[in-house]
Structure formats: C-alpha cells, structure tokens
C-alpha cells in the first residue's frame, strides 16, 4: 500500500468521536518513563512506586536500570519496558539483538527499539525490516515496539517504516524517542494507524504533557502513551 492508497488522514482525525477517558483507563495506557542519563536508583524506585500506585502499564527505563526495576515490580501487573539502540538507532543489528537478549535476561518484558533511521532515509526498508526482525527474534516473545522517530521522516518514509515493522512481526510502532527534534503529533499517529494492519498497535511518545493532549492522541489511534508526565495526565482525568 502506498501513501496515496491510505485513507485521508485529516478525515480520519475529523471523524473521531469525542472521548472521555477515566483515570484508570488512561493510566493503563501509560508507559511511565524515565530515560535521562542522570537517572539514579532513588529516582527509579520512585518511578516504580508511582507506576504501582497509579496502575500504569509499564515503567520505561534504560537497560542499566532494568534489573532494579524488575526487582521492585516483581509480583505486580506493571511491565518493565526498556529501550534498545537508543536514542539514535545507529547500532548494528547484532548489537541491538545482544542488547535485547541481555535486557530480557535481566527482567525486561517489553522492548522499545529504534530503527536504523539512516537506512530509512536512504529508502532501504529491507535493511530496516531485517534490523527490526533481529530484535523481535531476540525478544523471545516479549512485546516489541518500534520507534520510527517521525520527526526525521517524510510522510512516505513514515508509512514505509510502519510497513517494515509489520513485516518484521513487531507488536507496535512508536512515534518518537523524545530525544529527537519533535515528538508525537495527532497527524503522525493517524498516519501510522492507517499504515499498519489490524491487530498491530501504535504508541505515541514525546512531548505529551496533559490529559487533553493524551486524549487527542488516543482518539487519533494511539493504544499506548509514553510519558514522563503520567501523573499530571492522570490527575486531570475524571475518577
């Protein structure tokens, strides 16, 4: 399917019905995120406690923090998500696969990997697909979300990256690392949703600060939200 074959993105957005998500509903969609290089064990402990208290879907932490997060969250429903090839996506496929296996061994239950962005810009989507497939295989059945870093891609490249992720049997496509030049937009989420097959999902991440922004992204097709402002987002929702 080419971009021209996809439904009109603005029409999809315009046709969305008004949505009102309760606190518990939106909390279950949030990956409570702390990916700063300066993150300490105390901050990770606080992140995990907040995730348990608010009922967030997961905590998203750097690989070095996975063992501690897994220890803190053992026996809870909160998943341990980590990032692979982050934030540039410029590691080799073998390195990404090794990093994934190590994360899984340390207790990660969800994997957010960054695509080979340079390959996407060259139009080499066979390489993008094989890079993703290496991580999917290494994840050993764990949920894999593919960060396509929309701020660097054209509309055609975004759609093609989504199709590559689908072909590689990933579970989600994700908008952003939060470390690029832009984050999640309603337009990009709708475009990505239109580009993937039924059953595959979209994670919106990067620059989501309010309940209103979160709901708009969910209306556009997001199934999961990556945010460091999860508590503020949930605070504005109704009980």
Cα–Cα dist 100/224, whole Å? 21
Q: What is the CATH number of the domain that holds 126?
A: 3.20.20.70
> How confident is the model at residue 159, as a pLDDT?
98
Residue 155: inside a domain: yes
What's the rounded mean pLDDT across residues 165-194? 98
Asked if the model's pLDDT at residue 185 lies above 70, the reply is yes
In a domain, 221, yes or no: yes
> Which of the residue ranges 14-23, 155-164, 165-174 would you say has the lowest mean pLDDT?
14-23
Q: Give residue-wise pLDDT tens across range 92-132.
A: 999 999 999 999 999 999 999 999 999 999 999 999 999 99
In a domain, 239, yes or no: no
Q: How confident is the model at residue 239 (pLDDT cuts 50, 70, 90)?
A: confident
pLDDT in the model for residue 114 = 99
Does 1 map to a domain?
no
Q: What percent of the chain stands above pLDDT 70?
A: 92
The pLDDT assigned to 191 comes to 98
Weakest mean pLDDT among 16-20, 28-32, 155-159, 210-214:
16-20
Confidence at residue 43, expressed as pLDDT on a 0 to 100 scale: 98
**Per-residue pLDDT at 183:** 97
pLDDT of 2 over the 50 cut: no
Q: CA gyration radius for the chain?
A: 17
Q: Is residue 237 part of a domain?
A: no
As a whole number, mean pLDDT of residues 67-76 equals 98
* pLDDT greater than 50 at residue 1: no
pLDDT, the chain, mean = 94
Question: How many domains does the chain divide into?
Answer: 1
Domain with 170 in it: 24-231
The set of catalytic residues is 112, 174, 203
- 18, part of any domain: no
Contacts of 24 (CB under 8 A, 6+ apart): 55
pTM tops 0.85, yes or no? yes
User: What integer pLDDT is reported at residue 19 of this predicted model?
Assistant: 78
Domain membership of residue 31 (yes or no) is yes
Q: Tell whether 8 is covered by a domain.
A: no
- CB of 167 within 8 A of CB of 134? no
Looking at residue 136, the DSSP 8-state letter turns out to be H
Q: What is the pLDDT of residues 12-71, one digit of tens each?
A: 555 555 678 999 999 999 999 999 999 999 999 999 999 999 999 999 999 999 999 999
3-state secondary structure labels for all residues of 194-227: HHCCCCCEEEEECCCCCHHHHHHHHHHCCCEEEE
Helix (H) or strand (E) holding 113: strand 110-114
Q: For residue 160, what pLDDT is reported?
A: 98
């Amino acid at each position: 399917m080419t971009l021209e074959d996809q439904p009109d993105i603005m029409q999809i957005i315009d046709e969305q019905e008004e949505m009102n998500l309760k606190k518990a509903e939106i909390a279950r969609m949030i990956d409570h995120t702390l990916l700063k290089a300066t993150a300490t064990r105390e901050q990770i402990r606080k992140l995990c406690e907040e995730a348990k208290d608010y009922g967030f879907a997961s905590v998203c932490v750097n690989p070095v923090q996975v063992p501690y997060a897994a220890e803190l969250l053992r026996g809870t429903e909160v998943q341990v998500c980590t990032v692979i090839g982050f934030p540039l996506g410029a590691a080799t496929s073998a390195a990404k696969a090794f990093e994934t296996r190590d994360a899984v061994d340390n207790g990660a239950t969800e994997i957010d990997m960054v695509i080979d962005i340079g390959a996407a810009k060259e139009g080499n989507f066979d390489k993008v697909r094989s890079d993703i497939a290496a991580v999917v295989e290494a994840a050993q059945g764990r949920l894999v979300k593919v960060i396509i870093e929309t701020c660097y891609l054209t509309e055609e490249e975004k759609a093609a990256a989504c199709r590559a992720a689908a072909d590689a049997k990933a579970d989600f496509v994700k908008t952003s690392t939060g470390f690029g030049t832009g984050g999640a937009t309603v337009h990009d989420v709708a475009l990505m949703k239109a580009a993937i097959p039924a059953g595959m999902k979209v994670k919106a991440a990067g620059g989501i600060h309010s309940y209103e922004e979160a709901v708009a992204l969910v209306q556009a097709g997001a199934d999961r939200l990556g945010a460091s402002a999860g508590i503020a987002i949930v605070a504005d929702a109704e009980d």
